Structure 1
Amino acid sequence: MVLGRIGHALAPHSHDSADKTDAALETSSRGMRVLAISFAVLMATAAVQAAVVVASGSVALLGDTLHNLADALTAVPLAIAFSLGRRAANRRYTYGYGRAEDLAGIVIVALIAASAALAGYEAVRRLLEPQEIRNVGWVAVAALIGFAGNEWVARYRIKVGREIGSAALVADGLHARTDGFTSLAVLLGAGGAALGLRLADPVVGLLITVAICFVLRDAAREIYHRLMDAVDPALVDDAERILATVDGVRRVESVRLRWIGHALLAEVELLVDHDVSVVVAHRIAVEAEHRLIHDLPRLRAATVHTDPDGPDGADHHASLTPHRVSGRDPSRRG
């Protein structure tokens, strides 16, 4: 039946050309490069701080060093994820291996939690058994080095993360920026120690532990959203506006977006005039996908389904109604 074929015209024209494949590989390569450089910078920073911890006995600086070390180690699971993400999709992993970034995120959350627990333990122990801080000047210098190293890494990760569309890399950059400010907090402990306040150092250590816990909360929330296929609602609004401008689209029925690693995928349902040919419906779907891929940032592929709008009273999905989940998609119009 002509109407039925028009109503279910599918156009999964993915634009998976050699250029898009090369672009995907390039984004992963840039991500790997950022991780390698930032790992080296943060490990060098942590090494300098660790040496001062041994010489000074500062528990605040110890907490900051552990935090910086954990931040450096987050590069390992992310590097593995970027490497896996370059593999081609296959019959088992039909969407590819981009989800490895989300698994890496879980490892990152665990590392942050471990650094918070260890820093908190050491701070409490020093509160119960206060100790004099030695080489206070070196503690202050190490704190400044920690801030400078983290701020440089933060800017680098955030810049490249936004350019390649990697939320994990951007989040890791924001994490590094927070680490930089906790490094500055160590200066307070060093200043208090210089004034003879023996509890200043462990108190600042506890404050740093609290700061790490806030970072942990934000990181866990970000990973939870990715695991639950959450996207910014503004992206859905943008996609609907783009689709509404396509010639031949009467109404945007639904838009579903999901992240696979640092790539965005879309599934779209459109209403078109019920008496157009299959060829015309197909052309509308192709144009809709083309507009989305070019105008929606970081969208790599879209599957567009066209449904007939009319005639009045017709239900082109009647046979599917009993099989569909109750309730309507919040993005669905009408």
Structure 2
Amino acid sequence: MSRQHAHHHHEPGPGSGHDHRHPRASPRHRLVRLLTPHSHETAGKLDPALESSARGMRALWVSLAVLGVTALAQAAVVAVSGSVALLGDTVHNAADALTAVPLGIAFALGRRAATRRFTYGYGRAEDLAGVVVVLVIAASAAFAGWTAFGRLLDPRPVAHVPAVAVAALVGFAGNEWVARHRIRVGRAIGSAALVADGLHARTDGFTSLAVLLGAGGAALGWRLADPVVGLAITAAIVLVLRDAAREVFRRVMDAVDPALVDRAERALARVPGVRGVGELRLRWIGHRLRAEVAVVVDGGATVREAHRIAVDAEHALLHAVPCLTAALVHADPEPVPGETDPHLALVHHGARRAS
């Protein structure tokens, strides 16, 4: 069986008359499609991806509203108290709210139809947005550390301590709610960028706690309380930065949870006609998964029979692997003793055998 006929892929290329994403559909039609229950039939396969993008956008705008209100409330207290620590926390909250902008752009780009240049679509924009978020977290850590160190060298009294303490609690509550919301939605739709942005919101919540503890220390007469606690919180932010950077780095490097690979292999092994599973690859494109796999079938099977097995294999993967929107299945004939490996012609191209 030739390699050309052994492949099976349900997702047509850009420009095809069967583009499932309906790039010319009206906004009303897109909304109806998002609210209509989907199946794994060809015409509806990408509905879950569109729905997850819409869910991510909603999470971003809700977060932007909550953090915007939080920052405005804190700014009012900064104006009357002159607290430099609270000013830094306000700046952090404003910056965290603004990270919704690159993520929102990424989600909007990810919903665009593939083109002849971007044949896989624009889902990778989310990974780039994740890098931006990590850089913002790093900048927040640097700013928090610099501010705390400056306060350590030049302690300043804090006026209206009770108001500063209340503003710090407001900042912590707002950031923690946003962090939980973003992380929950990000993990549900498989968006590393949204999870990283949720972690960033949590770092600003830690900064708010630093302001609260510093205000408590100032109320007790310890002028160095605010900068000392600020330095400790800076260290905590660096730890969160490490986790967020690791997650985004893994996504950029096409890393997936090995448990997903195990689940996919088990699903393929149960497909009638599949006699073995060769090379299996999974990769994230934004918050969507794609799969490439080679399955071993009866060497005497006809092209139609092998194609049916490939269809069944893809269908099994769609049910077994969360966030999977497309699979490329290659059917290899079961080896026969003494038969020449049909993949030998590819060896000089550096291709590795899938089985």
Counterpart in the other structure of 1:139? 164
* Residue from 94, 98, 105 that aligns with 1:69: 94
State the number of aligned residues: 326
* Residue from 6, 12, 18 that aligns with 1:9: 6
Runs (4 or more) in structure 1 with deviation over 4 Å come to none
Q: Distance in 1 between matches of 2:81 and 2:229?
A: 15
Counterpart in the other structure of 2:225? 200
Residues 1:92 and 2:150 are matched in the alignment: no
Counterpart in the other structure of 1:124? 149
Post-superposition Cα deviations, 1:136-173, rounded to whole Å, max 9, x if no partner, equal 11111011101211122123223322333323223322
Distance 1:237 1:305, change over 3 A: same
Identity percentage of aligned residues: 68
Residues 1:311 and 2:308 are matched in the alignment: no
Counterpart in the other structure of 1:248? 273
Q: Secondary structure at the match of 1:249?
A: coil
* Residue from 124, 128, 135 that aligns with 1:110: 135
Residues 1:296 and 2:310 are matched in the alignment: no
Q: TM-score if structure 1 supplies the norm length?
A: 0.91
**Aligned partners of 1:120 and 1:205 also within 8 Å:** yes
Residues 1:270 and 2:270 are matched in the alignment: no
Q: Secondary structure at the match of 1:265?
A: strand
Q: Distance in 2 between matches of 1:176 and 1:79?
A: 16
Counterpart in the other structure of 2:245? 220
In structure 2, runs of 5+ residues without a counterpart are: 13-19, 21-41
Q: Distance in 2 between matches of 1:6 and 1:112?
A: 47
**Aligned partners of 1:7 and 1:274 also within 8 Å:** no
Q: Distance in 2 between matches of 1:134 and 1:247?
A: 74
**Shift in Å, 1:6:** 7.8
> Which piece of structure 1 moves more, 256-265 or 316-325?
316-325
Post-superposition Cα deviations, 1:115-156, rounded to whole Å, max 9, x if no partner, equal 222222221111111111111111110111012111221232
**Aligned partners of 1:63 and 1:208 also within 8 Å:** no
Residues 1:279 and 2:276 are matched in the alignment: no
Residue type of the partner of 2:7?
L
Post-superposition Cα deviations, 1:1-37, rounded to whole Å, max 9, x if no partner, equal xxx3389511112395442344333222221121111
Post-superposition Cα deviations, 1:36-77, rounded to whole Å, max 9, x if no partner, equal 111111121122223323433434333433332222111110
Post-superposition Cα deviations, 1:242-294, rounded to whole Å, max 9, x if no partner, equal 11111111111011010001100000011112111111111111100011012
In structure 1, runs of 5+ residues without a counterpart are: none
Distance 1:223 1:159, change over 3 A: closer
Q: TM-score if structure 2 supplies the norm length?
A: 0.86
**Aligned partners of 2:133 and 2:196 also within 8 Å:** no
Q: Distance in 2 between matches of 1:41 and 1:182?
A: 17
**Aligned partners of 2:126 and 2:191 also within 8 Å:** no
**Shift in Å, 1:234:** 1.1
Distance 1:63 1:140, change over 3 A: same
Residues 1:237 and 2:234 are matched in the alignment: no
Q: Distance in 2 between matches of 1:212 and 1:159?
A: 20
Q: Secondary structure at the match of 1:293?
A: helix
**Shift in Å, 1:310:** 1.6
Where relative contact order (Cα < 8 A, 6+ residues apart) is larger, the structure is 1
Residues 1:156 and 2:153 are matched in the alignment: no
Residue type of the partner of 1:44?
V
